[in-house]
Amino acid sequence: MLDARRVRRHATQPLTYREVGGTAGELPDGYRILRMSRGLGRGADLFEAASRRLMTWQVHQASGLRVRASCDTVGVGGVVELRLGRWPIVNGQRDFPVGGQLISLSADT
């Protein structure tokens, strides 16, 4: 869990990118998108299990992200600190060194 001091610090900082909500429609200039999908199977039980894993950070953890959150379940007003390796993704954006270039990763909230 994310301690109260870190929750306050993250919750009071502005996001680091202008295009908040920009992925809800046309992508802003300069953005590329990668979409991938995979069937999980069929049935209400499978859907419930997948939804539960997504909303309790398990999907994020399984993808290799380290998760520290203010709550066990994703929700409005929650604060999450995601780390990819040793680099934190803070306030929605982080640049990572990859092959001599900086790659920008954004998380739209």
- Predicted TM-score (pTM) of the model is 0.62
CA-nearest of 76, 73, 58, 67 to 11 is 76
Q: What is the pLDDT of residue 52?
A: 92
Q: 89 vs 70, which has greater pLDDT?
A: 70
Q: What is the pLDDT of residue 40?
A: 83
CA-nearest of 108, 79, 67 to 11 is 79
3-state secondary structure of 54: helix
User: For the chain, what percent of residues have pLDDT higher than 70?
Assistant: 77
Segment 17-44, tens digit of pLDDT:
777 777 677 777 777 777 778 888 899 9
For the chain, domain boundaries: 1-11+42-109
| Beta strands at 65-69 and 80-84: parallel, antiparallel or unpaired | antiparallel
What is 2-51 written as a DSSP string?
Answer: --HHHHHHHHHSPPS-S-TTGGGSSPPTT------------SHHHHHHHH
Amino acid at 5: R
